[in-house]
Amino acid sequence: MELNLETEIDRSRMRVSDQVAIRIEDMNKWYGNYHALRDINLTVRRGERIVIAGPSGSGKSTMIRCINRLEEHQAGKVVVDGIELSSDLKNIDKVRSEVGMVFQHFNLFPHLTILENCTLAPIWVREIPRKEAIETAMHFLEKVKIPEQARKYPGQLSGGQQQRVAIARSLCMKPKIMLFDEPTSALDPEMIKEVLDTMIELAEEGMTMLCVTHEMGFAQAVANRVIFMDQGQIVEENNPQDFFHNPQSERTRLFLSQILRH
Amino acid sequence: MSERNLAFVRGEMLPAREPPSGQTGLLKLLRESFFKDWLSALLTVTSLIVLIWIARSVSPWLIDSVWNANSLSECRQILGGAEGACFAVIRDRWTQLLFGFYPPTQYWRPVLAFVLMLIALAPILFPPVPRRLLWFSAAFPGLAYCLIWGGTLWLPFSAYAVFAVGAIVLGLATRLGSGVAIVLALASALAWWIFVSGSVTTVLTQLLPLALAPVTSREMGGFLLSIVIGVTGISLSLPLGIVLALGRRSKMPLVKTISVMFIEFIRGVPLITLLFTASLLLNYFLPPGTNFDLILRVIIMVTLFATAYMAEVIRGGLAALPRGQYEAAEALGLDYWKAQRLVIMPQALKISIPGIVNSFIGLFKDTTLVVFIGLLDPIALSNSIRATTAWQGIYWELFIFIGGLFFLFCFSMSRYSMHLERRLKTDQH
């Protein structure tokens, strides 16, 4: 279980505040008759970096997708940045503009250039002047180290580059919370590191992050809490040190032995 | 077998080289596409022979064609028994084929309208054209109506005023929420149209009588008619089709049901029955004494018909988009309409281009069906030309002319769509 990220992590700004960013209370979700999420309770404070792990089909993605209501929960309460998610469309759009999301398959808009991908939402949702939006976009593209690709289309970039653009696109909205849904699962091994580096940098700046990932090295290096899910419920919640070296639940132990054997 | 050292380290990387000769260019094309094996060689030679035979039998007919004659018998006299086309009929009657019975002194009006149409289309079809020209494109329909039908210039002006009133109310009411604003804007535009428009037109006409000599719909015909119906149908069916396709995918049951019923009904009925409805039945339903222009009725029916097809083509494009595109747009906080306009539609329409243009071409050619309800489209005119004593018995020449013009329009649409597909291609390095 070696940490294979050579980057030295600067922890000076990784501070967790007392303010609550996300509060989930007894959240339940069904797909038809299938009980997908069962009594989820989770409180995330500002600046926390949470990694969610678990076998496939355990509801990890569904859970974080409930936070910006890409999925609807049927029972319980989800409060994001002080706004409770209900069927009120105004609240949903408001939450979505404060919560960035990075997908497994990038989901960049293929008909727009990289720069246009990054300026679309700031211009049309935040109603920022075009010039300012372009400046912000270039700032974040520089941050993810691909400003030279700004005029290209997503189809002309490698997977790792596309995912970094997707991160930059979310950041251009200046979100308070970032959700990552298996951001490196669709990438070639060579490109995983460049995306993880970008995410680590983000964590160093104190961003509140929820990250569904199988990158346990990343979890150990960056997370201040690891959540383990199975069968739609939270099975274990622990700090990374104990989670990896001294897991409490049998299910977690089995899972860790499966993924860390190689 | 002895143990061997498997390590291999490349000292220098190989540079890229030219492909071997015969793998590129004309030689490869000839070998691979025309003379790959015996069968393909045989097919190549046979097709060549057939092509040459067709060219040899048709060319004398075309080359010896007669362009100056006043009747078919005169043509035959000139040819003196030889094979030859009698294109004199086109020379004699081309104005009729283009304009129908439009007053000859007024031909400049449809011609001007056609030229202006090309100018109005330019900014829509080609991005390098200055965007400001789009204002002209917006003004074009009213202008074209004035030019073609004549009458007072203030009528289209007041029609635009209805839109302007709607837009102003929409702008003022946006603070009350988009739904309320749209309802208010529609209501005020409707109210303006019903209660104010008529009197404003009358007053303006009396103050400043700007008018062109009116031409009735019955006098129009030929390609003028086809283009008027075709272009109006095409430019209305695309936006209406988009709305209908979105309606069919809507989560609101009522909107969805209405869209599905409309699409299925219109698609399930032959166009010709809709045209008969337009020409015969509509009069029974309208209050007696209303004079509802036949061309207008036909345009409405053709548009409805094309809209149903368009909606299904666009729905196909929408269904082809990965769910991730919707999710990414939503996750960025774009609301439904913005997501549709900025993310979903540009991609869905791009996917649907071949289908959309297919519908356009079909619609344009279907305009010839109006012959059955007594409108004088090019086909109807060719019949009436053949009914005259001078040109009785002439077939090919008229149909070649009509077919050629239709081909010109349809082929340009097809080429444009290919150009558009190339231009919108973004996944190439």
- Assess A121–B contact: CB distance below 8 Å, yes or no: yes
Interface test with A, best of B251, B321, B332, B340 (most A CBs within 10 A): B332
User: CB neighbours (10 Å) of residue A159?
Assistant: 18
pLDDT given at position B159: 83
- Across A190-202, average pLDDT: 91
Task: Find the residue in A nearest to B347 (Cα).
Answer: A111
pLDDT at A109 over 80: yes
Q: A94: nearest CA in chain B? A: B333
CB atoms within 10 A of CB B26: 7
Query: How many angstroms separate the CA atoms of B362 and B307, rounded?
Result: 12
B427–A153: do the CB atoms touch at under 8 Å?
Answer: yes
Q: Which residues of A touch B334 (CB under 8 A)?
A: 120-121, 124-125
Residues in Cβ contact with B334 at an 8 Å cutoff, skipping those fewer than 6 apart:
A120, A121, A124, A125, B342, B343
CA dihedral B394, B400, B405, B411 (to 10 degrees): 160
Q: Which pLDDT band, with edges at 50, 70 and 90, does A5 fall under?
A: low
- Sequence letter at residue B249: R
Q: Within A34-129, where are the H helices?
A: 60-67, 89-98, 114-124
pLDDT at A27: 94
CB proximity A88 to B under 8 Å:
no
Contact between chains at A103 and B327 (C-beta distance less than 8 A): yes
Per-residue model confidence (pLDDT) at position B69: 85
Q: Between chains, do A101 and B427 touch, taking CB under 8 Å as contact?
A: no
- Give residues with Cβ within 8 angstroms of A187, minimum separation 6: A159, A160, A163, A195
Q: From edge to edge, which strands make up the β-sheet containing A75-80?
A: A34-45, A20-31, A75-80, A83-84
Q: Kindly list the residues from chain A whose CB atom is less than 8 angstroms away from the CB atom of residue B353.
A: none
**Given 3-state DSSP classes, what are the helix, strand and coil percentages for chain A, each rounded to the nearest 5?**
40, 25, 35
Mutation site, A124, A163, A176, A178, interface B, largest B CB count within 10 A: A124
| Phi, psi for A236 (deg, rounded to 5) | -145, 145
Candidate from A154, A155, A173 with C-beta closest to B332: A173
Cβ contacts of residue A132 below 8 Å, gap of 6+? none
Residue of chain B minimizing CA distance to A157: B429
Cβ count near B155 (within 10 Å): 18
Min CA distance, A136 vs chain B (Å)? 16
pLDDT digits (tens, 9 = 90+) for A57-79: 899 999 999 999 999 999 999 99
- Min CA distance, A104 vs chain B (Å)? 10
Give pLDDT < 70 ranges for chain B: 1-3, 22, 286-291, 428-429
For the beta carbon of residue B402, count every other beta carbon within 10 angstroms: 21
- pLDDT recorded at residue B189: 85
What is the structure's pLDDT at A2? Answer: 43
Q: Do B427 and A109 touch (CB under 8 A)?
A: no
Q: What does the pLDDT average to over A124-138?
A: 94
Say how far residue B427 (Cα) sits from the centre of its chain.
28
Question: What is the rounded average pLDDT of the residues A119-146?
Answer: 94
Nearest to A96 among B331, B346, B350 (CB): B331
Res B289: pLDDT: 65
* A125, A154, A156 member nearest B333 (Cβ): A125
Spatial separation of the C-alpha atoms in residues B333 and A93, rounded to whole Å: 5
Indicate if the alpha-carbon torsion angle B118, B124, B126, B132 is positive or negative.
positive
Give the chain B residue whose CA is nearest to the CA of A113: B426
Contacts of A117 in chain B (CB under 8 A): none
pLDDT band per the 50, 70, 90 thresholds, residue A29: very high
Please compute the mean of the pLDDT values over residues A18-34 and round it to a whole number: 92
* B332 closest CB neighbour out of A89, A110, A121: A121
Q: What is residue A3's predicted lDDT score, i.e. its pLDDT?
A: 47
Cβ neighbour number for residue B40 with a 10 Å cutoff: 14
CB–CB contacts below 8 A, A to B: 72
B332 with A103: Cβ contact below 8 A: no
Distance from CA of A99 to the nearest CA of B (A): 8
What per-residue confidence (pLDDT) applies to A88? 81
